[in-house]
Amino acid sequence: MAKGKNVKPTPFRERNGDHPFNASGVVRTGSRRFTFVDNKDPTALFEMTFDAHLDTVERIHRRRLAGAGGPGDPEGLTRADVDGETFLIVSSSLSVARNGGRINDGLVRVRYRPDGDLAAEPMAGFREWLLAHVPSLAAAGRLEPDAGGLNVEGLAWDARAGALLFGLRGPAVPGGITLVEVPAEIGGEWTTASLGTPTLRSARVPRSTGGQGVRDLCWDARTGRLLLLIGRSASDGDAPFRLGTWTRGDDPVELLDVTFHRTAKPEGVTTFERGLLIVDDGGGYAVL
């Protein structure tokens, strides 16, 4: 088990074909099972089965997304339990792809089942809808991420507010981070017509630089606080990865006493009864 300081992920024993897993958002889906997205593979979700002590990954199972598949550049993943049914929501980065101009669009609802393929329902036109309803993001929506463009990497479901929270890696805000709260009917018709008016939320981050953004977020049911994974906004930045919690009020983010090894690229975090699970873009995981 990794301790709180200088966390260095344990490499996965398996790969996604010929390549390491580019693991991003992660959620728990069973007593020993956690599911993550690979931002290089929009066609599936990936389930890690742990040993009985929840210390070591025993295997990774590929769960194909049936139907229209997943979004381009999948980065965010959250779980919503509504009326006895479990949904997994997958978010694209909503970015302009580097060196190509392709638009990464997509908000996909997955009706979770323990086995077999997973039915994926994309929400048509979500990126266009979001930029139309949050005009302050429109200019960033035309730029690539490393040029200060829109780049969404965190996603969480706030059951109390009935809203999805999108964490912005970019554009970066000096001294803090930005979230977009979008009311949503998770179990209803999956169209932009079922979404409520978005609200921008900001939080101050102690000792923050202008180059930090959200890399993932999730609710900690034990504390009732939002857990934030923060890291560099641009790919060539030098801002460190940090973990923090936030009450969603006027209080600043409270940074935890956790640091990451210089080789770590943490991009997904979730909680369980014994601690935290972090997945790494380089193909690994850490249990804290």
Domain limits of the chain? Answer: 10-287
Which CATH code fits 10-287? 2.120.10
* CA-based nearest residue to 151, from 104, 202, 183: 104
Residue 6 has pLDDT above 90, yes or no: no
Pairwise CA distance, residues 241 & 38, whole Å: 19
pLDDT (mean) for 123-149: 96
Residue 100 has pLDDT above 80, yes or no: no
* CA-based nearest residue to 33, from 12, 46, 47: 47
Lowest mean pLDDT, pick from 56-65, 76-85, 245-254: 245-254
Residue 210 has pLDDT above 80, yes or no: no
Pairwise CA distance, residues 211 & 170, whole Å: 9
Pairwise CA distance, residues 80 & 66, whole Å: 19
pLDDT (mean) for 261-285: 94
Mean predicted lDDT score pLDDT of the chain: 93
**Which tens digits make up the pLDDT trace of 213-262?**
999 999 988 888 999 999 999 988 888 999 999 987 888 999 999 999 99
Residue 211 has pLDDT above 90, yes or no: no
In angstroms, the first-to-last Cα distance of the chain is 6
The pLDDT score that the predictor gives to residue 3 is 58
The pLDDT score that the predictor gives to residue 93 is 96
The pLDDT score that the predictor gives to residue 2 is 54
Residue 102 has pLDDT above 90, yes or no: no
The pLDDT score that the predictor gives to residue 248 is 79
Asked if 26 and 38 touch (Cβ cutoff 8 Å), the reply is no
The pLDDT score that the predictor gives to residue 224 is 87
Lowest mean pLDDT, pick from 3-17, 30-44, 165-179: 3-17
pLDDT (mean) for 78-99: 94
The pLDDT score that the predictor gives to residue 69 is 73
The pLDDT score that the predictor gives to residue 212 is 92
